[in-house]
Chains A and B, each alone.
Chain A
């Protein structure tokens, strides 16, 4: 399976909202409501931020939200804060019990 497509980088100022896209195919993102999103700070393990497309684990800020349209999933972060600066990865079920990650997006808070 091929990696999901994400923009290499996005940026925003504190307080603003940004959206990171994650484009797959009808064999993965488009066929299942099983997209998850991960935040990774430098040198750290990834952290689950969104699962099943739009659900937040306990303890994750409601500034983080997820959605999907067709073969593209999106992560929106509202009210940007300095600590949101990190790499973000999407992940989707790809059928046959396999999972595929996106290429990652570096978020810069200006």
Chain B
């Protein structure tokens, strides 16, 4: 059974760096073909794909946010970490991590709401 859960601060100040952790079970990111993505959703708005990391440590980023994002994995802990620099109030959103099959996001975490405010 695949499960994912996001964790991180609920509140960050403008200009700070956000660090989110996705802890998962039911698969290993050392297994060929496994991938995890981060997706966010501002309150009342649409989903936005942010980044992806693959079993072979390949990393991919949203074109519009790539300068601010870093994704990494700790295979031994079954964790994926996303950092986003220079946070702004417009980055207020629920951040989800999801297992990615290669053609769809089939398992999602419950999401974690991050508010950016001074």
Interface residues of A (CB under 8 A from B): 1, 3, 34, 36, 38, 45-48, 51-52, 57, 89, 91, 93, 96-104
* C-alpha gap A72/B75 in the complex (Å): 39
Q: B111–A45 contact, CB under 8 A?
A: yes
Residues of A within 8 A of B62 (CB): 98
Beta-carbon contact of B48 and A51 below 8 Å: no
Closest residue on chain A to residue B47 by CB atoms: A101
14 pairs, A vs B, C-beta closer than 8 Å = A3-B46, A38-B105, A46-B47, A46-B105, A51-B101, A51-B104, A52-B104, A57-B106, A89-B47, A98-B62, A99-B49, A101-B46, A102-B46, A104-B45
Judge whether B96 is part of the interface by a CB distance below 8 angstroms.
Answer: yes
Q: Are B101 and A101 in contact (CB under 8 A)?
A: no
C-alpha spacing A74/B104, complex, angstroms: 16
A100 / chain B contacts, CB cutoff of 8 Å: 49
Chain B positions within 8 Å of A89 at CB level: 46-47
Q: Which listed residue, B45, B49, B63, B106, touches A91 by the CB 8 Å rule?
A: B49
Q: Is B103 an interface residue (CB 8 A)?
A: yes
B residues sitting closer than 8 Å to A (CB atoms) are: 37, 39, 45-49, 52, 60-64, 96, 101, 103-106, 108-111
A45-B46 in contact (CB<8A): no
Whether A103 lies near B103 (C-beta < 8 A) is no
Please report the C-alpha to C-alpha distance between residue A85 and residue B61 in the assembled complex, in whole angstroms. Answer: 32
A47 to B110, CA, bound (A): 11
Query: Which B residues touch A1, using CB under 8 A?
Result: 63-64
B105 touching A36, Cβ below 8 Å: yes
Task: Tell whether, in the assembled complex, residue B47 and residue A38 are in contact, meaning their CB atoms are under 8 Å apart.
Answer: yes
- Measured CB to CB, the nearest residue on chain B to A87 is B46
- Asked whether A97 and B110 contact (CB < 8 A) given A34-B103, A45-B96, the answer is no
Does A104 contact B106, Cβ atoms closer than 8 Å?
no
- Pair A98/B101 contact, Cβ less than 8 Å: no
Please give, as numbers and ranges, the residues of chain A lying within 8 Å of B105 by CB-CB distance: 36, 38, 46, 48, 91
The 3 closest A-B pairs by CB, nearest first: A51-B104, A45-B108, A97-B60
Q: Which residue, of B37, B60, B103, B106, has the highest number of chain A Cβ atoms within 10 A? A: B103
A101's contact among B49, B108, B109, B110, by CB below 8 Å, is which?
B49
